[in-house]
């Protein structure tokens, strides 16, 4: 039990009495198997969400740079070719 409580979910209770005492041990072993599966799934899902968050962060930075470049480009174009900045002939 100490190994299981310390996180070793591969450790199994080996109680073979053939009576009502054996049943809780079997159920406990099934519970640790299910817990191990849930922890593995949680690790996988968490890694996926972290990957998606990283990709969204990169995409946000790319969009910001593109937006700034576009705004500056339009501003420079308007400044250069604005009818107001041209002198009348």
Q: How far apart are the first and last CA of the chain?
A: 95
CA 44 to chain centre: 8
pLDDT 10s digits, 26-85: 999 999 999 999 999 999 999 999 999 999 999 999 999 999 988 888 887 777 777 655
Residue 36's pLDDT is what? 95
Tell me which long-range contacts 1-6 makes (C-beta under 8 A, separation of at least 24).
Answer: 4/32
């Amino acid at each position: 039990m100490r190994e299981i409580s310390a996180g070793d979910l591969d450790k199994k209770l080996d109680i073979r009495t053939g009576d009502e005492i054996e049943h809780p041990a079997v159920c406990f072993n099934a519970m640790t198997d299910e817990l191990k599966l849930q922890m593995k799934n949680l690790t996988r899902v968490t890694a996926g969400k972290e990957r998606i968050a990283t990709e969204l962060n990169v995409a946000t930075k790319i969009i910001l740079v593109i937006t700034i470049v576009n705004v500056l480009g339009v501003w420079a174009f308007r400044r250069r070719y604005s009818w107001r900045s041209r002198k009348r002939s």
